[in-house]
Amino acid sequence: MDRDITLEVDGARRSLAVDTRTSLLDALRERLGTTSAKKGCDHGQCGACTVLLDGRRVNSCLVLAVTADGAQVTTSDGLAGEQPHRLHETFVDHDAYQCGYCTPGQVVSAAAVLDEVARGWPSAVTEDLVAERTDLTDAEIRERMSGNLCRCAAYANIVPAVAEVAV
Ligand code: FES
């Protein structure tokens, strides 16, 4: 059964009819031609499909598109304005990728981590994190980014790329 939905994707309002079984990831990639979010595992394990849904990071392969009706969806492309997002620059500066397939999801997740820290959300590593604190230890970055896998294992460069923006 199809339903009409509207999404705001990277600032652009998009309307489409989707089967109620369609994931947000498939709606983005296959129906709207927005290919920034990637399909790795398609079952919530790799994080390649990470997007912000009304500001919160989600695995878009686990979200039904119909449940996102009316929501704002931000991909890595949407993080950039006139200029690249600072995380885009630090990922390049630190060579924080090899094949690059996971990079858009990593960048979106890193942006969410910085927002979560700014809001004072504790991590499992540091439960007493307070809002005034914006720095992150490497262990905290690894824990907070643990839902984003890199098959090339570029973690040694991803962590400092995120840390540079976090200070
Ligand atoms: Fe969604 Fe892997 S494709 S978590």
pLDDT tens digit string along 16-50?
A: 999 999 999 999 999 999 999 999 999 999 999 99
Residues 66 and 109 in one domain: no
Point out the ligand 1 atom lying closest to the alpha carbon of residue 62.
1
CB of 146 within 8 A of CB of 162? no
Rounded distance, CA 147 to CA 158, Å?
Answer: 13
Rounded distance, CA 1 to CA 166, Å?
Answer: 45
pLDDT tens digit string along 72-112?
A: 999 999 999 889 999 999 999 999 999 999 999 999 999 99
Number of independent structural domains in the chain: 2
pLDDT tens digit string along 125-143?
A: 555 544 445 568 899 999 9
Point out the ligand 1 atom lying closest to the alpha carbon of residue 49.
1
CA of 130 to the centre of ligand 1 (A): 30
Can you give the residue range of the structural domain that contains 29? 2-75
Q: For residue 10, what is the domain's CATH number?
A: 3.10.20.30
